[in-house]
Chain A
């Protein structure tokens, strides 16, 4: 297996799986997506690599316009009118270049997706039972009755009360959280190996978000599902992800196991993002750090690092170094302990010289004191 240097992440991640002689569930290499516009191509995704293994969750984080959602749609081959290049392998099988008819057989069956807005993502004219059943019928050639039984079974599994009765209801009769459960039931009806969740809880209230995240975690544990969790919320990533990919302006900024990423981020953007986040357990007396400016245009990216104009490291650096940040695009390279960053001036291990707001040095009165001292198990249902 030949691996380009930039895909060292994938290589590192694969080592365990390779030993077992099995390709990873999903491997994406050098994915690029451009949307042609009158003003020229918009490079929404510009060279992304990642790997997802069974039973693991990859969190993809980024702000709006970072290309995280486009990445997921490109994996499923759902982008129309876009120029896509690179490689997408599902369990060792290359998906790029497959005719849509072949891809359709894999969508829903081997890899499924849920979306941000569960209201508009369900067809208003069909009952939820019908919408779950139709995919089952297409993929397994099942009859109407068998598919309906399956739909009811799935609704029950995702925690919808009275599933047999509710299957006959239309989406508008469900609350937001219940609709997202329906979406999950639909995505998992054909027993896929991979679930891509694109901001699945962003439109939901926080208590409902907790329910949905827990549901996904439970099903993942039961089925050994590989999950890609796309979100702008670093809190969600901290809760569910094993590995994290941070994206900025369509490019990878940093990729690391979740603990390492949050403990000491290597990329100045990750650091800035974490520092600018108000959190429940920080000290409100210390003002939030901010990242100056706003994200760059994807129409005509400059030659250098996309983050350089907003980067405090680049700003502090001397002429030569700074010229490199502004003139040469950094590759995603391995740094320490299973971590990759695309940065000419990565932050060193340990304290980065900026005031930390991490809970270890937080003053009294952070999170509510847990009454139950034991850590909450996966299923607190």
Chain B
């Protein structure tokens, strides 16, 4: 567990280099999470899986950072470490200047008020035995709000997410997927948080419902000045909601930068392949697009390739890629960063 020394400064220099940057709301520094290999029935332990490997980024107040990547890239694990649903194996998480990596549950409580989470499956993330009113008031009373005040605010919250006070007495199973996700968002808003970590909040929903939730989240951000960490595999959705994007591959951030730059001129070959693989709902565009089809499969996170973890599938891999792991460094004068020996833009 030796963090690569070059990686941390890279993430730090960005703040220094970006004059617009104020103090970050949340900072992740060299986050690492290893899971012990699953014990087989023989009792022989499989090798440990490094699900997240040296991830650093900042999130500024009111900003939306997208965390994208394919399954197993560590994006959800990262999100869970930020809200301390998982204990990091290494590295640190700082919220509003306080290091929250190792503080106890009691000390964490005031922080929890400010950091809330929204999950992929809205129905199963709500307690099936609680009516909506309880789901909404519980987080407030835990934080010490007067119960009567909490009930009044619950109705207000439902209004805010496009539902009505008539939904207060209902149970989660009485809602459609889209409505349930609205309730889940209302719950997240109950404590007036400053940051919401949203883990695939729309990927379980149908297209027409997806748009409703995306618009809702955007409106709430404008109205409430929220910051989002938006974790998703759907690059089209991420492009819609995010200011900046971090692309992850096999537990590491391979590219991080402002949305328009990452989408228009991806620097990392993986980002390029990923973007070119997303189908565009327009046959005319589809016929003329450049398409990079990656060869082979995602390697097992338990046995990642040496050097640059992307090299076995990379169309431009050279010898150095097989032996040396590239650090996340600024590309083309910044503020974008990519972890590649031969970045595209510049």
Contact = CB atoms under 8 A, between A and B. Distances in A.
Interface in A270-300: 272-274, 276-282, 284, 287-292, 294-295
Contact of A380 (B212, B287, B292): B292
Interface stretch (B14-22, B88-96, B261-269): B261-269
B297 A208 contact: yes
Nearest to B202: A278
A281 B215 contact: no
A276 B70 contact: no
A209 interface: yes
Given A63-B206, A175-B298, A280 B288 contact: no
A4 interface: no
Contact of B284 (A241, A259, A288): A259
Interface stretch (A48-56, A115-123, A359-367): A359-367
Contacts of A210: 276-277, 291, 293-294
B279 A236 contact: yes
A39 B167 CA distance: 25
Given A64-B206, A276-B210, A359-B285, A290 B280 contact: no
A209 B291 CA distance: 12
A288 B214 contact: yes
B275 interface: yes
B232 to A, nearest CB: 10
B281 A237 contact: yes
A238 B281 contact: yes
Given A206-B233, A291-B208, A280 B291 contact: no
A234 interface: yes
A336 interface: no
Nearest to A237: B281
Contact of A294 (B209, B235, B259, B280): B209
Interface string B227-255: 00000011111011100000000000000
Interface in A329-344: none
B93 to A, nearest CB: 27
A366 B264 contact: yes
Contacts of A292: 212
B293 A211 contact: yes
Contact of B240 (A238, A288, A359, A381): A288
A292 to B, nearest CB: 8
Interface residues of B, number: 55
B257 interface: no
B207 A234 contact: yes
Contact of A367 (B176, B285, B293): B285
Contacts of A209: 277, 279
Given A277-B211, A287-B218, A368 B276 contact: yes
Interface centre among B176, B207, B264, B291 (most CB of A within 10 A): B207
A279 B236 contact: yes
Contacts of A77: none
Contacts of A272: 208
A63 B286 CA distance: 22
Contacts of A207: 70, 273-274, 277, 293-294
A371 interface: yes
B211 A288 contact: yes
B130 interface: no
Contacts, number: 167
B293 A380 contact: yes
Nearest to A261: B283
Interface residues of A, number: 60
A236 B207 CA distance: 14
Nearest to B236: A278
A348 to B, nearest CB: 20
A31 to B, nearest CB: 23
A162 to B, nearest CB: 13
Contacts of B218: 287
A169 to B, nearest CB: 14
A230 interface: no
A274 B281 CA distance: 8
Nearest to A379: B293
A280 B211 contact: no
Interface string A189-217: 00000000000000001111111001000
A331 to B, nearest CB: 24
Chain A binding surface, main DSSP class: loop
A298 to B, nearest CB: 14
B109 interface: no
A278 B211 contact: yes
B275 A368 contact: yes
Nearest to B179: A294
B290 interface: yes
B255 to A, nearest CB: 12
A239 interface: yes
A375 B240 contact: no
A139 interface: no
B282 interface: yes
A368 B265 contact: yes
B71 interface: yes
Contact of A273 (B71, B179, B208): B208
Interface in A201-257: 205-211, 214, 232-239, 241
A239 B214 contact: no
B289 A370 contact: yes
Contacts of B285: 238, 281, 359, 367
A235 B283 CA distance: 8
Contacts of A366: 264
A134 B183 CA distance: 50
B260 interface: yes
B205 to A, nearest CB: 9
A206 B218 CA distance: 25
Contacts of B297: 175, 177-178, 208
B207 A63 contact: yes
Given A368-B264, A368-B266, A232 B207 contact: yes
B142 interface: no
B278 interface: yes
Contacts of A276: 207-208, 210-211
A279 B293 contact: no
Given A210-B277, A238-B281, A375 B211 contact: no
A233 B70 contact: no
Given A273-B207, A288-B215, A359-B285, A280 B71 contact: no
Q: Which 10 A-B pairs have the closest CB atoms?
A: A235-B279, A370-B290, A276-B211, A205-B70, A234-B281, A210-B277, A63-B206, A291-B208, A288-B211, A278-B240
10 contacts: A210-B276, A233-B279, A235-B280, A239-B279, A262-B282, A276-B208, A276-B211, A281-B282, A294-B176, A369-B265
